[in-house]
Each structure stands twice: as structure tokens, then as C-alpha cells.
Structure 1
Amino acid sequence: MTEKLTPTDPAQIGGHRLLARLGAGGMGVVYLGRAESGELAAVKVILPEYADQPEFRARFRREVTAARRVDSPWAVSVTGADPDASAPWLATAFVPGPSLAETVAACGPLPSRGVRVLGRMLARALTTVHEAGLVHRDVKPGNVLLTVDGPRLIDFGIAHATEETALTSADMVIGTPGFLAPEQARARPASPASDVFALGCLLAYAATGRPPFGSGAVDALLYRTVHDEPDLDGVPEDTRGLLERCLAKDPDERPTAREVDEALVEETPQDSVDWLPDAVVRLIAERSAAMLALPDIEATAVDAKAEGADGAEGAARAEREPEDAAPTPRADGRRRFLLLGGAALLAAGGGGALWAAQRDDGTPPAAAPPVRRWILGVQADLTGPQKAVGQGQERGVRLAVEQFNSRADKPFTLTLKSVDDRGDATRAAKVARTLAADRDLLAVIGSTGDETTGASLGGYDERQIPQLTASSAQSPYGTSDPRHFLQAVPSYTHLPATAAFSLRAQGARRVGVLIDRGGGMPAWQLGNTMFQNLGVLKIAGEPRVAPRLAEDLTPVIAEMVANKPDAFVFTGTPARAAAVARALAATDFDGPRVLGYPAADKEFLTAAGAAADGWQVFAPYIDPSAAPVRAFARAYRKRYGSAPPYWAAEAYDVARMVITRLTEAGGRPSQQELFDLLLKDEYKGVVRSYTFDKEYRWLESYEIFRYEVKGGRYSYAGKVGL
């Protein structure tokens, strides 16, 4: 579980925004961090007093090297590290599941098959470790995390290369008493066989709920490990013989990790979680769901220093505007327009007009203050993988701007400035900083996708420019707690509630939920939140996770259908969705089928063929031909010569909302004043009503639109709500 950051904690480490503490020890602190890519990470930071010790820094450098040499789906991967930094750090992929120790304490021992499956997966992880020339040296329940698609071996902090000389003292015991080999208890060098002994202890614990050599004082534990036989009472007979071999006192008599894997290979699960009890699956789901609602970011010393550097509002404005910039006019917008019009006429009058404007003493008047433009920005994927959506959104915003500028009573003229991020996160961050540097930019709408939106947040937020996305639904993003960002679309974690209620209305009482890891964050957030909402509605949910590398999902579908669900949900990629649709069509299942909307595109229809018919999609975008947006669709077709795509009406809506707030400001507002106006009141658009939570800045309205595939196309079925 997480703890709040303390005031003395850093705000960022190695490009990771720190969100909370995961734990602390004598040598350092482990934080929950979020990288710029949006991925969560466990960031281990060494305390300064140890970083200054050459031997300790060398040991940490060895830890980083060791962890990077392990490449296994059952071991956490290194995502970044800097052992030479002033505060050395190591980041690994964050696994939100509970540890095996927590699981057994909360839910009791695992069933017989669960122990065997766990043993096989961990044996494979250790095989990778050993083939990399390493010894883990601390295989224990606390270093094994459980997820819906298998366990993860973590903490290579004391992993040791077999060919290296140890940096620890000769008589130091390395490992955790109760889960280490006799040779380690005698302070002798560990070997791959030592890890196998620890694996045997761990599996005995998983099967019985107690360590095989008991508990108590460290000296007593070490003595029993060296001299006593393990207590294997309660271990299933089909596993006991293998564990006895793993726990042999002589390392040469133990099987290798690969041999343990081969001994358990017949118990391979078919990419499912049926090897875990329901209580454990719920615990994993609850822990994962908790990570979707991350704790508030605590102010730290680094944050406070940065805030102090900005000073009061005047200093913040000075930071945004050069010293030689003219004061922002606060007169009535129409009056300013007439004054500027008069100045333009004088300029057009040539020398005579200039002579007339001179003072009596012949001195020319002071230069007029520079004219401030009213700029609305758009950042979108105009030429990349989502260019159809991005171009439609840019056109929707442009249409709203042109309609406003055509008004005879407009108080100002609005300029649209567009940038193309090409759907690339690196470019998105770059073009955001470039656009944000324009001092006349009032607000920006974009970006198109989740990754580019997350990458662009910092560029706009640091200049206090309001940013609104009409299509990116991720929750949360890579930059934590942006202060001037509004998500004008229901997020992935809000949308599934509507689908769950609809399934209940359709009579669903048992729902299979298949989450495709290949679908990334959208698939996980939609699928996992769907499972949670089903539980709230007292509907039995049966989750499964398809690993990215799984090629054939037919066995998973067959297993899920065998449990007699009356509804089915899939979240993932279009290609995998098509494969699932075909596999499901080959069974006798005839209940409602729901497809996560990111997978609902033309590729799914084409690849699934007739099997696509009947699938329902609950999406935050309205059909462009729907009655509420027909006037927009006609104007779009007249302007651009084609029908608007999905998401164009939403961008048009958001642009009109921003323009409305600008006209209500009574003069040119600052970016902060505009943001406050956007938060203040409800805006009724043509797609939905926009009201934002004042504290969390998310959209409070939940208008969702249902589609059903009929005859090879997505047929619009109207708006649904809670």
C-alpha cells in the first residue's frame, strides 16, 4: 500500500513525478512514480549517506546491471536507472498486485493447482535469472507480487553474479531467514541451487500458510534450516515429492529451476486466472483499481521552492509576459475594437494623418501599445496514425472559430493556430512548448490521443494555459495533477458504469470480462473498471487477461464460455477483438457482447466479418448524423465537402464552450481567469452538457452513446445514461 510523500521528499527523480511512498528501509526509499510516458514505476532511491560510500555505490551499480540482465515475463523489468546520480535511483515497472505474503495472510493458502502453477511460473523466472549468470539470493513471499496474468519476481537488490567477488563481509548472511538455503545460513556463497531451495520454502508457505522451518528468533531459524527437516504437513501429495527435492540440504541433490519448470509443465494455465481462488482475484482487482485513483500529490520541499520562485500573481504574470510588453487592456472589448479601427484608419491616411497626430512642438507621439491577438490553439494528430480523427477535430474547431468571426457583433476577432504532433509523444511535447511560447495564446484544444495528450500537458501547464481534450480519456496521465487541464470527455474509468447498468437491464447476471494486454492503458482501465462496476451491481464478473504475446485466444474463449456467462465484454485491440468475435461465434454463446470503444473501428468490422454483428459499443462520441448535431454536420459538409468523422462534433462543442467563456469575460482575460470561467458554470453544448468538478477537474456529465453492429456497420442506438 502507499503512503503520502513527506515535505522533505523530492518531487521528481529521473523524469519520474513522485506520487507516493511505497516503502522505506535503512538504505533508501521506494516511491511510486509516473514517467513522462504515463507508465507507473517503483523508483528506488538511495539515501545520501550511503550514496557517498564508494562500496555501496558499487553494490548499487551491480544491482542495476543485474536487474537489466533479467528478461522474463515473470520478473519485473527495469525501466530506467542512474547509479551515478547524486541520489542513485533504479526504476522498475510497477506491479499493483499484492505480494504473496499479503495474499496468504488475507486469503489463506493457495489450492493445490495454484501452488503448482505458481511454482512453474517462478521456476521460469529463476531459469532466466540463472541463465543470465545471476543468483537472486532473496526469493521469499514478500518478493513475489500477484497479478491477474501471473506472478512477478521483484527486488534484485542483492542479486549476485556468479563470477563476481562479493562486496559483503565474509561472515554476513544474505537473504531472509526462513527462506534461505543452509549454505546461506552458514554465510557461504549462494548459487542457483540456493534459489531453488528458497523456491521450495516459498511454495511450502503458499500451500500451508507457514514457513517450512517455522518462525521465531533468527538464530533458531538458521539452526533449523541447517539441521532440521522441513515441516511439509499439509502440502499436497502431488507437489510434496518435488518440494522435498528442492529442500535437500546438499545443493547438488536439488533440481535446477528448469527441472522444476519441466516437472510442473503439465499444469500450465491457459492464460487465465482460474488457478487462483476468487478471494485472491478480488484482492488483486481491488489493489489494481486503487491505483486508478492515485492519492493526492503531497507538496514537497522541491514543490514549495518552485512555488516560491513564482511569487504572487503579479510575478506569475511577469513570467508569462516580457517586461517591455504593454499592460493587458481591460476596457470593453467592443470599445477596444473601435479604437483600434480608428488607429488603422489613421495609419492608412499616410503622411497627412501622421502630421495631424504630431504634438504642437513637432515631437511625434509615443508609440501605440502592440496589439494583442486573441489566439485559440489546436494540437492534433494531422498526419499520423489517427489523422482522420485529428483532421476532423481541427476542422470542427476551425468551423466554430469561423462561425464566431462571421458575427457582426463579435467583440474581438479570434485567430486559430494549429500544430501537428503526428501522433508521436516526443513531437507532441515539442510542439506544445512551441505553441505555448506564443504570449497571445489563450487556450488550446488537444491532443487527439492519450499518449500525445499526456506528453503535451507540461508544456501548457507551466505557462498556465488552459488545455482541453475532447477525445483523450486516460485517467490519469503522465504528468501528475496538471493545474490547467480539463478532460472534456468521460474517462475510461467513468464510462464502464453506463455499460454495466445496460448489461443488467439486458438481464446479465454473469459476465465474462476479457482484457487484452496489447490494448495498453485504455483496455486495462476499461476492463478493470467494468469488473469493479459489475461487482457493485451484484453481477458476477469473471475476468481474464490475455498476455500481449498470446497468439491464440480460442482456448481462453472456450474456457470462459464453459462457465456459462450470459454476457461477454472484451477490451483490447481491433485485431484481437476480431479474433475474439470469431472464436465466440464458433461457440453456442448467444448473450450480449460488449466491445471497448477503442477497438471499434473499421479494422474490427473487416477482420471479424459476419462475427462482428450483434456486438455493442458504448462510446463517448455521438454519431455525426444524430439529430442533436445535424446542424453542425450540415455546416461541416458545406465547408469541407464531406461528412464529419467521429469526434469532430465533440471538438466543435469544446471550441464553442471556450469561445463563449471568452465573450463573457468582459475584456481580454488572463489564462487563469479563462480557466476559472471554464470551471465556473455548466455549458450546454450540442453533444453534451459540460460541468467540471471544481477539485478534480474531471467532467461530471456521463452522456454515453450506444452502437450495435448490424450488417457490417456501426448502427447508432442513441444516448444512454445511468
Structure 2
Amino acid sequence: MSPTAQPDPQPDSQPDPQPDSQPDRQPDPQPDPRSAPRPGALQPLLPSDPSSIAGYRLLGRLGAGGMGVVYLGRTDNGELAAVKVTHADQADQADFRARFRREVEAARRVASPWAVPVTGADPDAPEPWMATAFVPGPSLGEAVSAHGPLPERSVRILGGALARALAAVHEAGLVHRDVKPGNVLLAVDGPRLIDFGIARTTGESALTSTDMVVGTPGFLAPEQAEARGAEIGPPSDVFALGCLLAHAATGRPPFGTGAVDALLYRTVHDEPDLTGVPEGLLDLVRACLAKDPAQRPTAEEITARLTEDTPGTAADWLPASVVRTIAERSAAMLTLPEIDATELGASDPVDQPTPNRRKFLLLAAGGAVLAAGGGIGAWAALPDDDKDRKATPPPKKERHWVIGVHADLTGPAKDIGIAQERGAQLAVEAFNARKDRPFTLELKVSDDGGDKNRALAAARELTGDPDVLGVLGPTSDYTGLAALPAYDEALLPLITVSAGLNLLTNSGSGQGLSVLQICPQHAIAGTGLAYYVLTKTRSIRPGILQERTDDTYAWQYTGGTNFVFRRANVRPVPRVVPAGTTDYKRVLGEMMAEGMDAYVHCGLTPSAVLAARALDELGFTGMRVTGQHVFEPRFLMEAGDAAEGWILGAPVVDPATRKEASAFVAAHRKRYGAAPAFYAGESFDAVNLMVQEVVKIVRSGKRPDRTALAPLLRKVRYDGVMGGYVFDGSGAIDAVGTFMYAVENGRYKPLEFAPAGPPKNRQV
């Protein structure tokens, strides 16, 4: 966003989010989030894709990434498989085939009904491939994210089955090393453990460096977190299983979320947060999470403690909402492209009555769904389509569409949420006042109260209304992340003007498929602060303080500023302080003693207030800057005179500085009796951006399809009353987008846009 045109391009690359001190970590081979399919969806084959591989007829794409492509394949007898094919350039790497061959061999050595079996492989092919039985259900991580924690009985059955799978892994002389929710698929007859890509034989020398952290932070044992390779063994998988069971029972990892280095530190030094784990499971989970590997139970011992429940063949071990997801995905397998009718039987299908969905499943026994491990239990939980499908309501004579607002109207960010609702309301009223409008608009508001536990329900209130074409919001980072599964599932466009968390559009798991961020992501905003310091001062030792109340936000700002200072060959004075720190005078005094000549605060308002007071008492005269989450009236009120002279970066422009916004400001005053608050103008623009594209569709004679709207919006350049907007392929704003303010006489005085690159007199 810019006042007249786009700012200068961003830095050459995205900021490095990893702190310098973090050990190397082998990245998981995940799909590119900018092109990943909707979770559970089958995407069409591309012209460059083969039609078959080694007897598997390829029906579509399940996912793709830097390592290769995963296809859905079918054998001549109707069995489905996930066929993983690597890129030829990967296969040419010296150690790649050794790693791939090891993955195939590891998976083949595991004999368990709760581990997905290998059905074919060729590590020596020009493009190595491996096929495993296809499971149409969601991953555990996806199910918990979309439907909430599992009940105790479900967790017990889950734990018992996975313990059996791990017992088979360990009996084969292997260690899985990456037991996490994303590597557990849910089927009606029980879970399945997948992905032996980084498994290794007990005592085997790793093909990676000895100081490399391998696996997924948050689901690693302490010995893995510290890369103590010689100590990694079966107890490491048991620790990960304990983390997974805690996540399944509570909806959150036991060591929290946020910066990777913080997760690794907590895993090694802190006790897990097991609040909410059912009493009947608490002792077992706590034992699995013992810091000392010798104190953890074995997989066989866990199995013995969870023998009273077994999945059987029915779907009742899972909540109904998860069963429905499995059933819907199983149904999709019955409509796979180009399945020959003769394969259903010898009779001419034209002479047969059209079966309903349940009958068709029975005809396909031994084919798509049953071969996929889906069973028929899922269908028993669903009504017959012919009897219970609701009739489609007749079209309205006078068509109207709805714009949703998902906001915090009653919680900690209610001032921002109310401003966003008002901006959206004015956009809708302005559209409805047009004589040439091709339809009418309504506004539908859903309040999450700033509570991430309410966010998913608030989102479903909007996604469940078929007339809602797009949504403004959510207000906050973590309510946005919690609501994301609902918007992804509906493919409903979501434009946020205040949630800058990079995970909303760049999670690495195919999330954020419909999200557009008008505000810059926090790491990019951090680069803006650093460039501003370099542009306006001659700083050679800027201080960077990372305060961990909101770990992810602070870490991303720190990463952005560090990136810029390193490229400018400027060596900062760093400090990281835990949440609850109060003695800022001591911490900042030490930083001044090390030569700090400018100060960047990466934290929230309460700690910024303490830092402002401490720097004032210490007589610090250098530039003091901070970011979005301190840009609020509270900082001015609580810091008082100590706030004077601070520079703050925010993703919003003061409407009073924009002549293009004069009509909007006047309308706001007339409607609400006051000048628009920050974030109202950007919300006004966001709604108009969505409406502009819907009008184009309607005037072309087509019916708006909300599931196809987000890709169109990402390609649009829009000039609104607050500036210009253009997006990159992931939906993030393609600009720095940070506006700078100075505290002057107890108010925020607008300055200018943050620079998008280094000053001309700096060598970066």
C-alpha cells in the first residue's frame, strides 16, 4: 500500500527467520503453500504429468513440492495408492538415492495394520518412485484444527494403535524420528502412521550432519532438540507420541508454539503444559514426556496400558464431525475421473437402475473406498442422500450478496475490530447508494471476542451462509490462524488488514488458500523498521530486544531487523528476555554499556512501556522504534512523557493525510459522529476491492463463484482511498506497507512510509 503508487521493491529475498544461534534443521519436504491444493482435494493432472507409472494409472495430484509430486494412482484391480515421484534433478544428487532407498526399505520393514504399507517402489528409476496404500481421511493435525480436540476414548484408541505401530517400527530395528499429527492419517477403522522419510536404523550413522536437528519442533524429544545423535532411539519416538497425544486431547502442543529456537529450548528445559489432558491419560502422557529417555515407557508398555479399547471396524471411535470428513472424501473416490463402467461388473450399466450412494459403495467393494482403508463404517453414520438431502432454495427475484466481517468487537482488540466493522459498513452503504448497482449488498458480522477458542465457530457462521462472497478479517493473528481451517474448507476469500502472521499465507501445509493480507507480514514490517533506522541515523550498534510474551510476533520482527542489519554489515546488540521481565533498566543498561546507539523493541505494549521508562531514566538519546502491536493508545497513556520521540511502524495510514479519503472521512463523521479510527480506511478499501471484482463477474453475465474469487483478487491492482494495493502469489501484500509515526505531544504524528530498501549512502 502506498499513498500514490507502490513503494520501492522489497529486499532481494525474504528475511531469514532463523536466529543465528539456531542449529541447522533438515526441512520437511512440504508442498509450496502458494500452489498446494485444498487439504484432501484431488487436483487435475498437468499436461506435463505422466498418465501412468509402473502399472499405476494416475488419476490426479494429491500434492506437490520442491522434492516431487504425490499422485493418486489406481491399479487394474481398482486399488488406490499414493504414488510419490521425485524430480529427476533430486535423483541426480549424490546422496539422494541412498536416502530414498532407505525410506523405502524402512517402510517395507514395518509390519503393522496401523502403519501405511508400501505397495510398490523403484529407487533406481530415472525418477525414483514409491507407492503406499491410499487413506482418504484427514491427518490428525487437520482434524484437530478443523473440529477441535478429540474425546478421551478417541485419544486412548489413537494412542493404543499408534503405540502398536511404533512397537512394529522398533521391532524392525528402526526409529521413526518424526511422529507428529501431520504424519497420522485417520480412517474409520483406526489411525495410520505414515512417512518414514527420516527414519533410520538404531545405531546407524545419519546421512546428515551430526549437529543437525531432524524432525518437527514441538514434537521432538530433548535428545533430538539438542541433536544428540547417539542418544536418539525408540524412547525418542515415545516422547513424540506423548506430545501427539497431548495435542490430540487439548488441541495444542504441550510445549507451545512460536519461534523454533524457543520450542527447542522449552522441550529441553521446561515442563510440558498438560492442562486439559483427561485424568485417565495424564500419568501416561507425563511418563512419555520424561526428559530422561530411560524413564519413558516402551511402545509395548503403552500398548499394554491402552488395551481396553480397540477401533474394531466401526467409525464410532471418532467424533461424528471427523467421520463426516472421512465420508465426504471417500465419496470423492467414487467419482474418480474416467473409471471404466465395465469394471463394476459384467452387466451393461445402462440396463441397471441408478444406485444411491450407499448402494454404489457396496457395488464397489474391493475397489476405491474399501481398498483405501475407508471401510463402510463412515457411511453408516450418514443419512441416505435420496431421503435427507435438503432442497435447494429457489433463486431470489432481487439478488443480493453478503460481505462478512469477522472481527474482535468485544475483546482486547475491540477498538480495531469496531473500526474495521465501521469501514466495511460504509463501503456497503456507499455501494447500495449507487443507482447503477447490479445487485444489493448486506453486511454480516461475526464477533470472536479476540478469543482463538471462539474463532473457528465465528468463521463457520460466515462460511455456512452461501450468500457470503467474501470476508473482512479477522482482527488478530491467532484468531485468524484458528479460523483458517473453516475458510480453507469453504475456499471463501478472506482479506485481513491487521493480522500480519506469516502462517496465514505461508504455513507450508497448503493453508491460507483464500487469504489476502493488506497489512505487511511481521517479518517484512521488521525490515521496514531496520531500514528506517539506517536511513535516518548513522547507527553502527543498534540494539534489538526480543520480548517473548507473543513469541512468534517478536521472533518475526527480530528476524526482519536482523536480516537488514546483517546485510548492511551492521552488528547489532541483541537481547532476548522472557515474558514477565520487569527489570528493563538493568537489561537496557547492559545494552548501552555494549555501545547501543539505537533501539528496536520487538515485543508488546506492556514491555514497550517498561522499556520506554527505563531508557528515559537511563538518559538514552538514540532512536527508539517499535512495531504494529505497540501502535495503540495504551502505549501513549501508560508510557506518558517517556513515549515522546518514539517511532512506531504500523500497517495503516492516517485518513486525514489523504485527500483521496476526504469523502470517506466526511461520510464517517456523518454516520458515526467522529473521524475514522485507524484501520477503518483500509477496511473500506478491502470491501470495495472484493465488490469491484464481483461487479465485473455479474456484469459479464456470470454467477459469482466465491471459491474462484480469491485467485482473481490476488492478481488485481486496486487503487483505494488509502492507497494502492497489489499482492504476490501467496496473497501477501507485495510491498513493505509500513507507515511511520512519531510520538509528539502525546499523539501519533504521521511521518512517511517506511523505506523499502537501504539508503543510497549505505552499502548493503
TM-score, normalised with respect to structure 2: 0.53
Shift of 1:407: 0.8
The 1:718–1:546 alpha-carbon spacing in structure 2 relative to 1, beyond 3 Å, is same
Q: Which residue of 1 aligns with 2:467?
A: 440
Shift of 1:635: 1.2
Q: Distance in 2 between matches of 1:27 and 1:77?
A: 11
Shift of 1:79: 8.8
Local SS of the residue matching 1:642: coil
Q: Decide which of 612, 637, 650 is 1:581's aligned counterpart.
A: 612
1:13 matches 2:140: yes
Q: Which residue of 1 aligns with 2:754?
A: 720
Local SS of the residue matching 2:439: coil
Superposed counterparts of 1:94-493, under 5 Å: 96-97=260-261, 156=291, 158-160=293-295, 324-325=391-392, 372-477=399-504, 480-493=510-523
Q: Distance in 2 between matches of 1:166 and 1:462?
A: 35
Shift of 1:658: 0.9
Shift of 1:593: 0.7
Identity %: 31
Q: Which residue of 2 aligns with 1:543?
A: 574
Q: Distance in 2 between matches of 1:710 and 1:684?
A: 30
Does the CA contact (< 8 Å) of 1:45 and 1:90 recur in 2?
no
Q: Distance in 2 between matches of 1:85 and 1:606?
A: 42
Q: Distance in 2 between matches of 1:79 and 1:166?
A: 11
Does the CA contact (< 8 Å) of 2:179 and 2:244 recur in 1?
no
Q: Decide which of 651, 659, 672 is 1:640's aligned counterpart.
A: 672
1:680 matches 2:723: no
Q: Which residue of 2 aligns with 1:26?
A: 174
The 1:14–1:471 alpha-carbon spacing in structure 2 relative to 1, beyond 3 Å, is closer
Q: Amino acid of the residue matched to residue 670 of structure 2?
A: K
Q: Distance in 2 between matches of 1:436 and 1:637?
A: 32
Q: Amino acid of the residue matched to residue 711 of structure 2?
A: D
Q: Distance in 2 between matches of 1:370 and 1:311?
A: 37
Shift of 1:517: 0.4
Report Cα offsets for 1:339-377 as digits up to 9, x if no partner: xxxxxxxxxxxxxxxxxxxxxxxxxxxx87766531111
The 1:133–1:67 alpha-carbon spacing in structure 2 relative to 1, beyond 3 Å, is farther
Local SS of the residue matching 2:490: coil
Q: Amino acid of the residue matched to residue 719 of structure 1?
A: F
Q: Decide which of 590, 614, 617 is 2:621's aligned counterpart.
A: 590
1:660 matches 2:714: no
Does the CA contact (< 8 Å) of 1:389 and 1:647 recur in 2?
yes
Local SS of the residue matching 1:703: coil
The 1:673–1:588 alpha-carbon spacing in structure 2 relative to 1, beyond 3 Å, is same
Q: Distance in 1 between matches of 2:412 and 2:706?
A: 31
Q: Distance in 2 between matches of 1:99 and 1:438?
A: 39
Q: Decide which of 727, 730, 740 is 1:692's aligned counterpart.
A: 727
The 1:435–1:663 alpha-carbon spacing in structure 2 relative to 1, beyond 3 Å, is same
1:3 matches 2:28: yes
Superposed counterparts of 1:48-67, under 5 Å: none
Q: Distance in 1 between matches of 2:645 and 2:752?
A: 16
Q: Decide which of 596, 611, 623 is 2:654's aligned counterpart.
A: 623
Q: Amino acid of the residue matched to residue 562 of structure 2?
A: F
TM-score, normalised with respect to structure 1: 0.56
Q: Which residue of 1 aligns with 2:322?
A: none
Does the CA contact (< 8 Å) of 2:541 and 2:596 recur in 1?
yes
Local SS of the residue matching 1:706: strand
Q: Distance in 2 between matches of 1:635 and 1:29?
A: 59
Q: Amino acid of the residue matched to residue 655 of structure 1?
A: V
Report Cα offsets for 1:557-583 as digits up to 9, x if no partner: 111010112211002121211111111
Shift of 1:395: 0.9
Q: Distance in 2 between matches of 1:473 and 1:577?
A: 19
The 1:480–1:561 alpha-carbon spacing in structure 2 relative to 1, beyond 3 Å, is farther
Q: Distance in 2 between matches of 1:412 and 1:125?
A: 57
Q: Which residue of 2 aligns with 1:708?
A: 742
Shift of 1:504: 0.9
The 1:640–1:84 alpha-carbon spacing in structure 2 relative to 1, beyond 3 Å, is closer
Shift of 1:90: 8.4
Q: Amino acid of the residue matched to residue 637 of structure 2?
A: T
1:669 matches 2:704: yes
Q: Distance in 2 between matches of 1:459 and 1:84?
A: 19
Report Cα offsets for 1:183-223 as digits up to 9, x if no partner: xxxxxxxxxxxxxxxxxxxxxxxxxxxxxxxxxxxxxxxxx
Q: Amino acid of the residue matched to residue 721 of structure 2?
A: V
1:82 matches 2:248: no
Shift of 1:303: 13
Q: Decide which of 557, 576, 579 is 2:588's aligned counterpart.
A: 557
Q: Distance in 1 between matches of 2:632 and 2:396?
A: 52
Q: Which residue of 2 aligns with 1:249?
A: none
Q: Distance in 1 between matches of 2:299 and 2:493?
A: 55
Does the CA contact (< 8 Å) of 1:393 and 1:647 recur in 2?
yes
Q: CA RMSD in A?
A: 4.6
1:568 matches 2:599: yes
Q: Amino acid of the residue matched to residue 139 of structure 2?
A: Q
Does the CA contact (< 8 Å) of 2:585 and 2:618 recur in 1?
no
Decide which moves more: 25-34 or 375-384. Answer: 25-34
Q: Amino acid of the residue matched to residue 747 of structure 2?
A: R
Q: Distance in 2 between matches of 1:133 and 1:391?
A: 45
The 1:582–1:664 alpha-carbon spacing in structure 2 relative to 1, beyond 3 Å, is same
Q: Distance in 2 between matches of 1:46 and 1:156?
A: 26
Q: Which residue of 1 aligns with 2:12?
A: none
Q: Distance in 2 between matches of 1:123 and 1:701?
A: 39
Does the CA contact (< 8 Å) of 2:256 and 2:263 recur in 1?
no
Q: Which residue of 1 aligns with 2:525?
A: 495
Local SS of the residue matching 1:551: coil
